[in-house]
Amino acid sequence: MQITIYGPDGCSNCANLRDKTQNVVDEHGFDADVEKVGDTVALAEKGIMSTPGFEIDDEMVFTGSNPPEAELKAYIEEHL
Amino acid sequence: MVFEQFATWVVDALGLTGAPRAAVHFWVYDTLKILALLVAVIFGVGYLRTYFPPEKIRDYLSGKRAITGYVLAALLGIVSPFCSCSTIPIFLGMVGAGLPFGVTMTFLAVSPMINEAALVVLPGVVGFELTALYAVSGITIGMTSGFVLNKAGLDRYIKEFDFGNSDVDVDEPTHRERARQAYVEAKDIITDIVPYVVVGVGIGAVIHGFVPQTIVTEYLSGPLGVFGAVAVGVPIYTNILGVIPVVESLIGKGLPVGTGLAFMMSVAALSLPQFMILKKVMKKELIASFAVTVASGIVVIGLLFNLLL
């Protein structure tokens, strides 16, 4: 599974979501690659106005929020 | 007030007198005061903002007449989050939705210049009257810049890009989720700006305690001061909340108010990192015109205030 976090450089909320997601993946041993995309044009092409955007495979799961780890885990499990 | 007492306690405990006492007192008191205000305001506005996601505002703006669009874009600029890393995606979303070019540029100009946090911190520093003037002039500069750039036909310098559809089903959040969202946001913003505030107030404190008034009134006054302030302010990249205490001290030492406001605006409104991000979606002709238009607006406002106040 590919998890992509869309957030421009300098957005600490976005970096924080990436770290939390990586934690969840490591902790529960999910088979997932976590990647962060910072290019603003890439964000625009994905239609993101509120950062960060959280995408699993090709589905944008949520934008503009930074939920707790338990919720991230639930999102990942839904996509297993 | 408790912060005042605490600051006095600190300088007493350190046994300071004279200029160092004034400087340290200023530093402790202002840092605490500004941070306390910020925590309250950023959380409050963050909570309210969950009711107005940018996507909703964009859709609302789409159907409006141009003049309404300009005004709303300026207001949106005020309440938008204040990192350019969050305003630029909103700007791109507005461009992608085909909102009038001038309206999008107004948002881009106002957003970094005026924000709710600055509007709450400023009255304690420069008074309500100047805060209102600051807000009104910032909005005026933003709207005028948007209008002028549009009339000049510069929309042709926006690079082509496809704005996608994120297709996220958003459930109406509960109060708890809104509060959590506001909390996370406030925590991040505060963490980001604490260094700016501490350093800004520190510089302000040094000026407050040690810089003789004659230096300010002799060298930084006069009409050239406004040009100088803008020329120095544009390349500086810092948060407006870090600039406020510096300007506070300088005005206290006799800096003309228009010059102070111009400095504050130019630091906030234009910065090199912002230009670097914009370069991906705008040609340099447009970035340069944007910078020149906004900077000229700031100079005019500064000169005008020095003349009138």
**Structure tokens given for B7:** 């600051």
| Lookup: tokens for B264 | 């504050």
B101-117 confidence digits (pLDDT tens) = 999 999 999 998 888 88
Q: The domain containing residue B248 runs over which residues? A: 2-156+194-308
CATH number of the domain at A24, please: 3.40.30.10
pLDDT at B146 over 90: yes
Domain tally for chain B? 1
What's the total number of domains in chain A? Answer: 1
Higher pLDDT, B159 or B66: B159
Task: Tell me which residue range forms the domain holding A10.
Answer: 2-72
Cβ contacts of B280 on chain A, cutoff 8 Å: 39-41
Question: How does pLDDT run across B242-275, given as a tens digit for each residue?
Answer: 888 899 899 989 999 899 999 999 998 888 888 8
pLDDT above 90: residue B130? no
Tell me the pLDDT band of B87, cut-offs 50, 70 and 90.
confident
Q: Which residue of A has its CA nearest to B166?
A: A47
Q: Least CB-CB distance to A44: which of B58, B163, B184?
A: B163
ipTM of this predicted structure: 0.87
Report, as an integer, the average pLDDT of A47-54.
90
Residue B63 has pLDDT above 80, yes or no: no
Domain membership flag for residue A79: no
Q: Between B86, B90, B181, which is nearest A11 by CB?
A: B86
**Minimal C-alpha gap between A34 and chain B (Å):** 19
Residue A12 at interface with chain B, using a CB cutoff of 8 Å: yes
Tell me the chain A residues in contact with residue B167 when contact means C-beta distances shorter than 8 Å. Answer: 47, 60
In a domain, A78, yes or no: no
Residue B268 lies in a domain: yes
In a domain, A53, yes or no: yes
Mean pLDDT of B287-309: 93
Q: Which residues of B153-162 are buried (b: 16+ CB within 10 A; e: fewer)?
A: ebeebbeebe
pTM of the model: 0.86
| Cα distance between residue B228 and residue B256, in whole Å | 13
Tell me, yes or no, if A19 comes closer than 8 A to chain B by beta carbon.
no
Of A41, A49, A62, A63, which to mutate for an interface test with B (greatest number of B Cβ within 10 Å)? A49
Q: Which long-range contacts (CB under 8 A, 24 or more apart) does A18-26 make?
A: A18/A52, A20/A66, A20/A69, A20/A72, A21/A54, A21/A72, A23/A69, A24/A69, A24/A72, A24/A73, A24/A76, A25/A76
pLDDT attached to residue B302 = 94
User: Is it the case that residue B166 has pLDDT exceeding 70?
Assistant: no
Percent helix / strand / coil, chain B, rounded to 5: 80, 0, 20
Whether residue A7 is contained in a domain is answered as yes
CB within 8 Å: A7 and B85: yes
Q: Is B238 on the interface with A (CB under 8 A)?
A: no
Please indicate, yes or no, if residue A63 is contained in any of the structural domains: yes
